[in-house]
Structure 1
């Protein structure tokens, strides 16, 4: 199995068809670096083509799912060449490049389950809205944070979130950038179930994923 800088890809049980992808920068609350985007696409494509993989569980190492795109990564996209046309075209290409990594979730033919604990902010919401099933623990909290940074949620949230929680709810969350709880995420339909603890989340998702594997 390939080695990644920003991810862990593994099976908990060798005989299982359930594979795990963990965002793996726990000291940065799994913020998304430049390295994440090509690695994530490669990991998903690899599992999509792996005949032994039937279900993918996406989670985060440590206490959080994802705190969004790393500030250093955002700053690298903001570098201005002095030519508005060229700067705009470069930014368009950069955003398309990032979008492709998130869209790789939808392109994957295996069901992808998001298991969310702690923070799921900005780019984290872009990721989970592309997943097939979403669960969270009671401590999870969410925010479409881009508005606070003067940005648009351009990696898929504005396209996918309205279809999940409704247009009005999606616009309110995107325009205010407010933090909302796992329980509210359940009420909005963003997640299907809230588990009482991280341990219960892990165990519950394991049972569900193994059930999907057996059906598959």
Structure 2
């Protein structure tokens, strides 16, 4: 799996660990998102999702920054790539291209396995799109966030405007998106964008690795179900959400995982679950 990608690096830091790392890997460009990324990222997540040896994915950035946003060359190629003299047809083509980029980010939510973002340095524009799609977010004290698109005469269109309000509240999302100001790591914690702020990248990697290993030790059916029900319920009424989880659990609740979890509680031992 390692070495397959131009824009990413996949690592398993311990041979027997179910926690895998996906690194945005263009450090010389601040991990700016290229067209290669939008092709490779959903492929990498799908590969990890289907791998029974993977239980949790940690998403990080190589070099001094997490992500400096979408590569300007990518933006230029989208704006200049026309198919005809007809504005309507060019607009329809651009819409399809935007939808393609959107699907690359939504792949994080589509992935069954939990995806945890660890952010250091800059997390700007497309970087915010990515982390808001992740299931859990942590950062270092030197991290900063910016919904930067308005400064580039763009309405952010890869998910920040849709996901950020449910994470930090509508008013906070509106203010950050209209001003494009920098949000420090500490303020991100205060607003609820991240769960915890670490002193350094090393401390964050060690701390989040322990958290990820803890999640990986739980029933994979319960973990996958919890992620899916939470994401699905975000767009449902309370009654619809309750109906959805009832339907979900009717299919997977009565499992070997449940039996072993109950047996382990009685025997005061750690349960052992099959891979998913």
Shared topology, TM-score over 0.5? yes
- Secondary structure (helix, strand or coil) at the match of 2:5 reads coil
Question: Partners in 2 of 1:80 and 1:130 — Cα distance?
Answer: 28
What is the deviation of 1:80? Answer: 5.7
Which of 77, 83, 86 is residue 86 of structure 2 equivalent to? 83
Number of the residue aligned with 2:35: 34
Number of the residue aligned with 1:188: 191
Question: Is 1:178 the equivalent of 2:181?
Answer: yes
- Secondary structure (helix, strand or coil) at the match of 1:100 reads helix
Question: Partners in 1 of 2:78 and 2:93 — Cα distance?
Answer: 8
Question: Partners in 2 of 1:172 and 1:91 — Cα distance?
Answer: 28
Q: Deviations over 1:93-140 (max 9, x none)?
A: 110000000000000010100000000000000000000000000000
Number of the residue aligned with 1:121: 124
Which of 152, 162, 165 is residue 162 of structure 1 equivalent to? 165
Number of the residue aligned with 1:48: 49
Question: Partners in 2 of 1:50 and 1:98 — Cα distance?
Answer: 24
Number of the residue aligned with 1:67: 68
Question: Is 1:97 the equivalent of 2:95?
Answer: no
Question: Partners in 1 of 2:92 and 2:17 — Cα distance?
Answer: 45
Number of the residue aligned with 2:203: 200
Question: Partners in 2 of 1:35 and 1:121 — Cα distance?
Answer: 19
What is the deviation of 1:78? Answer: 0.5
What is the deviation of 1:179? Answer: 0.8
Question: Partners in 2 of 1:80 and 1:27 — Cα distance?
Answer: 26
Question: Partners in 2 of 1:47 and 1:144 — Cα distance?
Answer: 29
Superposed structure 1 runs of 4+ greater than 4 Å apart: none
Q: How many residues align?
A: 216
- Secondary structure (helix, strand or coil) at the match of 1:171 reads helix
TM-score (norm 2): 0.77
- Secondary structure (helix, strand or coil) at the match of 1:15 reads coil
Q: Deviations over 1:8-40 (max 9, x none)?
A: 011000100001000000000000000001100
Structure number with larger C-alpha Rg: 2
Number of the residue aligned with 1:24: 25
Question: Partners in 2 of 1:209 and 1:80 — Cα distance?
Answer: 42
Q: Deviations over 1:156-205 (max 9, x none)?
A: 00110000000110011111101110001101100000001111111111
Question: Partners in 2 of 1:180 and 1:83 — Cα distance?
Answer: 41
Say what the alpha-carbon RMSD is for the aligned residues: 0.9
- Secondary structure (helix, strand or coil) at the match of 1:215 reads coil
Higher RCO (C-alpha 8 Å, min separation 6): 1
What is the deviation of 1:83? Answer: 2.1
Q: Deviations over 1:52-102 (max 9, x none)?
A: 000000000011100000000000110163321112111101100000000
